[in-house]
Amino acid sequence: MERRDFLKGAALCALFAGLPGTLRGAGVSAENETGEPDLVAVRGEDPAAMFDRGIAEFGGIGAFVKRGQKVLIKPNIGWDQPPEMAANTNPDLIRHMVELCLKAGAAEVAVFDNSCDNWVNSYRRSGIRDAVEGAGGVMVSGKQESDYREVEIPGAVKMRRARVHRLVLDSDVFFNVPILKHHGGALLTCAMKNFMGIVWDRGFMHKNDLQQCIADASLIRRPDLNIVDAYRVMRTGGPRGNAGSEIKLMKSLLLSRDIVAVDTAAARLIGFDPAAVGHIGNAERLGLGTTQLDKIQIRKLV
């Protein structure tokens, strides 16, 4: 083994050193262990291949998508920025997910976000519109107010009602696919923060205890799986990014049904203290998941 390859392998292992769990190499399949993990952390060179390895630990795409079902994939498409800025979810990951869902027999795979920048420009420049439509999926505007229905949010503390996009309420399968990055107000953008793009009135959240409202919004519907894109990570200058933003190539992916656990792991991965991210603790108190990563089963694939 060349020295540079050894150092590369050591760096990959060091990246996940802050996460408890079992470290496995690329040659070990999910069939060698019994039981579904609570969280999977993957390192690799290709987002599509990383997703294949990660979803295999949960039984494959067929464990989530059945023939004739309608699937929602909810990425972060908030900003009129190109993929290299790491402001939006990786389009290669979204393309592959759409393809897999359709191959599994999905009747429709829809993708949307209530963008912060102009939605047409954000969909185009992020690369997600072309990725989705090229794979046979449907891009849906998040800016049609008539697509939102008011619902009660049982258990919420601050945001007890909200107008929520019809795709979240009506789809059979819901994949939450945020990008991991810094946020100037909430500190962390990840799985829970991505829920701000499913409601019509984000302004209410900003004005009424943002950290609690993010946790409250996560009660609206539990995703069938949270898939955190940490391939390119904006560590500073988020959420939109600017010329001075620190962009780190981390080549990582996190998957979990537990939205609190995956945000906790993501905070550690980016180098933030999970205790400093208010909505993580708030969501744990609402019963949405756990921050105690040493108490759950984590598989790390490098």
246-282 per-position pLDDT tens digit: 999 999 999 999 999 999 999 999 999 999 999 999 9
71/94 Cα distance (integer angstroms): 13
User: For the domain with range 3-301, which CATH number is right: 1.10.3470, 3.40.50, 1.25.10, 1.20.1740?
Assistant: 3.40.50
Residue-level pLDDT at 280: 98
How sure is the predictor about 32, in pLDDT bands with cuts at 50, 70 and 90?
very low
Length of the chain (residues)? 302
Contact assessment for residue 260 and residue 284, using Cβ atoms and an 8 Å cutoff? yes
Parallel/antiparallel/unpaired status of strands 148-152 and 225-234 = unpaired
pLDDT tens for residues 42-86? 999 999 999 999 999 999 999 999 999 999 999 999 999 999 999
**Mean pLDDT in the chain?**
92
With beta carbons less than 8 A apart as the criterion, state whether 228 and 178 touch: yes
CA–CA separation, 163 vs 169, rounded Å?
11
For residues 88-102, give the mean pLDDT. Answer: 98
- pLDDT in the model for residue 7: 37
* CB proximity list for 20: less than 8 A, separation 6 or greater: 293, 294, 298
Helix axes 259-270, 278-285, angle to 10 degrees: 160
Check residue 238 and give its pLDDT: 93
What are the sequence ranges of the domains in the chain?
3-301
- pLDDT > 90: what percent of the chain? 87
Peptide bond into 47 cis (omega under 30): no
- How much is the average pLDDT of 188-207? 97
Query: What is the reported pTM?
Result: 0.91
Which region holds residue 86: left if phi is over 0, alpha if psi is between -120 and 50, else beta?
A: left
Higher pLDDT, 257 or 32: 257
More confident residue, 223 or 19: 223
Using alpha carbons only, what angle is made at residue 164 by residues 160 and 170, rounded to the nearest 5 degrees?
120
Q: What integer pLDDT is reported at residue 16 of this predicted model?
A: 66
The DSSP element (H or E) to which 226 belongs, if any, is strand 225-234
Backbone φ and ψ for 84, nearest 5 degrees, come out as: -65, -15
pLDDT value of position 35:
84
Q: Would the pLDDT of 26 be above 80? A: no
Q: What is the mean pLDDT of residues 156-179?
A: 98
Q: What is the DSSP letter of 121?
A: H
DSSP 8-state symbol, 148:
E
pLDDT tens digits, residue range 128-152?
999 999 999 999 999 999 999 999 9
